[in-house]
Amino acid sequence: MDYTLAMYKSPDYESTGFELLRDRMVSVGYPHELLRYTYDPSFPTRGVVVDTSYGNLLKVDSNGNILVCCHGFHFLREGDVHFYYPNKFIQRDDTERFYILNTLFNLSETYLYACLVDFFTRCTRYANLEKGFQHGDLFMSYRSMFQDVRKAMDFIHDTGVLKEQTIKNLEKYVVKDPNIPVLLTRIKEVAKVFLATNSDYNYTEPWRSYFDLVVVDTRKPLFFADGTVLRQVDTNTGKLRIGTYTGDLQHGTVYSGGSSDIVSELLDVK
């Protein structure tokens, strides 16, 4: 379940996510020495911007002014920051270069990327270049490293590895809050309530009764843009029905995919 409804126990949950990511990176070919790294909850924070050109992690204000800059776990002094960013400013809308890690799920990958930069910077087998590392005739850019981290993140979510770990250890990872069902019931009495989650149906089924509309596998943030095909979920099997759903909202029906615009149409809201 998304952080919107589920409260996960920190730092245990982020630590498990980090270990799964780290192990995945090693399994696809990254050095086994990375297994020495363990999660440090004091380092990552929400809203960090990754500069995929130089491998830096940035904290910026709403205007793009750089407040903090670190390379791996090394925090850069003002003079070093000016070397990379002469105006101490970035164009946040340059999404080809900058990636914002703005959710709690991103904490583990933020820390993993810092670990990668730290490791390769320190490792004498690799030559430090401006935009990556050289080992023999192989060049590994900061951009490609971040892309690999993103792929690893998609892997542990898409394959259900992280969800399986969570379900097996609910008491370890999830805070059970009896006030959430009460809150949802009260909201539903006076308004329409819908759940749009990136989790799949089998992970969210017990919550169905609290919502007028349940949409799983939404693939946010894509859900808020073009979205994906809206399909019905067979609640008996958990499998998707073939074809795009084009009918009206049916009580008790679970949908998969879609977009924010489609959900608005189903709920007849603007």
Say yes or no to pLDDT of 201 above 90.
no
The CATH number fitting domain 177-267, selected from 3.40.50.1000, 3.50.50.60, 3.30.1490.190, 3.40.50.1820: 3.40.50.1000
Q: Which residue has the tokens 């990668």?
A: 116
pLDDT at position 209 is 84
Do the beta carbons of residue 239 and residue 200 sit within 8 Å? no
Q: How do residues 121-139 score in pLDDT, each as one tens digit?
A: 999 999 999 999 999 999 9
What lies within 8 Å, CB to CB, of 13 at 6+ separation is 166, 173
Q: Who's near 60: CB < 8 A, 6+ residues apart?
A: 49, 66, 67, 90, 92
The whole-number average pLDDT for the span 105-113 is 96
Residue 15, pLDDT score: 98
Confidence band of 42 (pLDDT split at 50, 70, 90):
very high
- Yes or no: say if 245 and 230 are a contact pair by the CB < 8 Å rule: yes
**Residue 97 confidence class, pLDDT cut points 50, 70, 90:** very high
- pLDDT over 90 at 109, yes or no: yes
Q: Supply φ then ψ for residue 64, to 5 degrees.
A: 95, 5
Express each pLDDT in 240-254 by its tens digit: 998 888 888 887 789
Domain ranges for the chain, please list them. Answer: 7-168, 177-267
pLDDT at 205 over 70: no
Read off the pLDDT of each residue in 13-33 and give the average, rounded to a whole number.
Answer: 98
| pLDDT exceeds 90 at position 59 | yes
Contacts of 149 (CB under 8 A, 6+ apart): 21, 25, 109, 112, 113, 116
> What are phi and psi for residue 241, nearest 5 degrees?
-85, 145
Q: 170-193: per-residue pLDDT in tens? A: 999 999 889 988 999 999 999 988
CA distance 26 to 115: 13
Q: Which helix (H) or strand (E) holds 231?
A: strand 231-233
pLDDT at 207 over 80: no
Position 62 scores a pLDDT of 92
pLDDT at residue 221 in the model? 81
Given pLDDT bands bounded at 50, 70 and 90, which one contains residue 1?
low
